[in-house]
């Protein structure tokens, strides 16, 4: 049998250093050393630095399994998003990963594909793995409540990110979707567009519901009438945008402005309109929501609402960390990341 290990000068295996050795070396308590090595809150930076230097000098290697068994933690966090292939969610995940990795957590990334059953399966798998917390972008306003209640009933902290489910007692981090949509439609109205159509996403998704509400309230505030033909129901993908554009092209009269639920849908609309000889923005103004990179690279760059996906991820990760470190509040914490209007060439008279 070949045994690989580090030998001391006398040829025998060198004894592994322990937390007790570091505590003795630094003349600190074992608890203080343990908290510093776990990067926990409440340790003075200079004390932490001294402990880390001692650990390095003593060649300390943490026994993660033993520590986690004692602390009943796994140093893992579960992330459930609709689809990591969508341009928005990789940026959100980047924000989560940067914060949580820095604090020593490993991530399990799961996709629900906006299917409630899939979401339930992914959450159950994460709970079975005893993750320390879950960050979830819910698949459904009407059906995800049971999944979230299940997480909470297991004593597992959860933060809802990007999307809400009304009536659940969970922490949330969202963008100002309503305000962003309201501002965009108000801008189009001020630019004298008369027939403004909203290409809307599924109303069972919080973000789409809020953006439709923003569109509706902006139109009403300007005393504009809203007819059924002003709202085209679709999904969230490039292909959904193509299909929505074909529906609009089949009408006797095209709108003079289109506000899309997100940028991928807007890009799908853009391609189909251009393929059919429609000049943007001379014949139709086109706008989106989320400000993904692809929108700026179009031949006619897309006017949109900037939604900082990475900031959403960062805020959600910090909120979950606060819960994992003992934050207690009477009510769930609700944070919002502001949106910003980005005016480009797909709308005219951007004053």
Indicate if 177-307 has the same CATH topology as 19-70.
Answer: no
> Within 13 Å of residue 50, how many CA atoms lie on the same side as its CB?
13
76: how many CB neighbours lie within 10 A of its CB? 17
Local confidence pLDDT in tens for the 351 residues of the chain: 333 333 444 444 456 788 899 999 999 998 899 888 877 778 899 999 999 999 888 888 776 555 555 556 789 999 999 999 888 999 999 999 999 999 999 999 999 999 999 999 999 999 999 999 999 999 999 999 999 999 999 999 999 999 999 999 999 999 999 999 999 999 999 999 999 999 999 999 999 999 999 999 999 999 999 999 999 999 999 999 999 999 999 999 999 999 999 999 999 999 999 999 999 999 999 999 999 999 999 999 999 999 999 999 999 999 999 999 999 998 999 999 999 999 999 998 776
The CATH superfamily assigned to 177-307 is Response regulator (3.40.50.2300)
| H runs (alpha helix) in the chain | 19-26, 30-37, 45-57, 64-71, 88-102, 116-128, 145-153, 177-190, 206-221, 238-249, 263-275, 293-296, 309-324
| Topology (CATH level 3) of domain 19-70 | 434 Repressor (Amino-terminal Domain) (1.10.260)
d(CA 301, CA 297): 6
As a whole number of Å, the end-to-end CA separation of the chain is 78
Cα 14 to Cα 11, 19, 60, 314: the distances in Å are 9, 16, 12, 42
| Topology (CATH level 3) of domain 73-175+309-337 | Rossmann fold (3.40.50)
Tokens, residue 77: 């966090």
Residue 109, strand partner residues: 79
Could you state, in order of their start, the residue ranges of all structural domains in the chain? 19-70, 73-175+309-337, 177-307
């Amino acid at each position: 049998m070949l045994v690989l290990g580090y030998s001391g000068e006398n040829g025998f295996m060198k004894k592994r250093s322990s937390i007790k050795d570091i505590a003795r070396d630094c003349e600190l308590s074992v608890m203080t050393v343990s908290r510093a090595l776990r990067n926990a809150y409440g340790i003075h930076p200079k004390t932490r630095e001294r402990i880390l230097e001692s650990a390095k000098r003593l060649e300390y290697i943490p026994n993660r399994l033993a520590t986690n068994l004692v602390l009943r933690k796994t140093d893992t966090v579960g992330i459930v998003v609709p689809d990591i292939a969508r341009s928005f969610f990789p940026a959100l995940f980047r924000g989560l990963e940067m914060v949580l990795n820095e604090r020593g957590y490993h991530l399990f990334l799961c996709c629900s594909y906006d299917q409630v059953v899939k979401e339930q399966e992914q959450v159950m798998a994460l709970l079975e793995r005893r993750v320390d917390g879950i960050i979830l972008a819910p698949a459904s306003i009407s059906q995800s409540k049971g999944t979230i209640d299940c997480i909470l009933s297991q004593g597992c902290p959860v933060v809802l990110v990007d999307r809400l489910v009304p009536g659940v007692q969970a922490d949330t981090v969202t963008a100002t979707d309503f305000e962003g949509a309201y501002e965009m439609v108000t801008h189009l109205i001020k630019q004298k567009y008369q027939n403004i159509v909203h290409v809307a996403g599924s109303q069972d998704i919080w973000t789409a519901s809020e953006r439709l509400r923003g569109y509706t309230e902006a139109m009403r505030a300007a005393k504009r009438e809203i007819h059924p033909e002003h709202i085209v129901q679709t999904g969230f993908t490039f292909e959904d945008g193509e299909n929505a554009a074909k529906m609009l092209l089949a009408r006797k009269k095209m709108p003079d402005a289109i506000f899309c639920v997100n940028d991928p849908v807007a890009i799908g609309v853009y391609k189909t309109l251009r393929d059919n000889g429609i000049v943007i923005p001379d014949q139709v103004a086109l706008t989106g929501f989320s400000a993904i990179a692809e929108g700026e690279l179009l031949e006619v760059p897309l006017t949109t609402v900037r939604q900082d996906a990475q900031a959403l991820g960062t805020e959600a990760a910090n909120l979950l960390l606060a819960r994992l470190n003992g934050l207690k509040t009477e009510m769930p914490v609700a944070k919002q990341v502001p949106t910003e209007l980005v005016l480009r060439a797909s709308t005219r008279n951007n004053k």
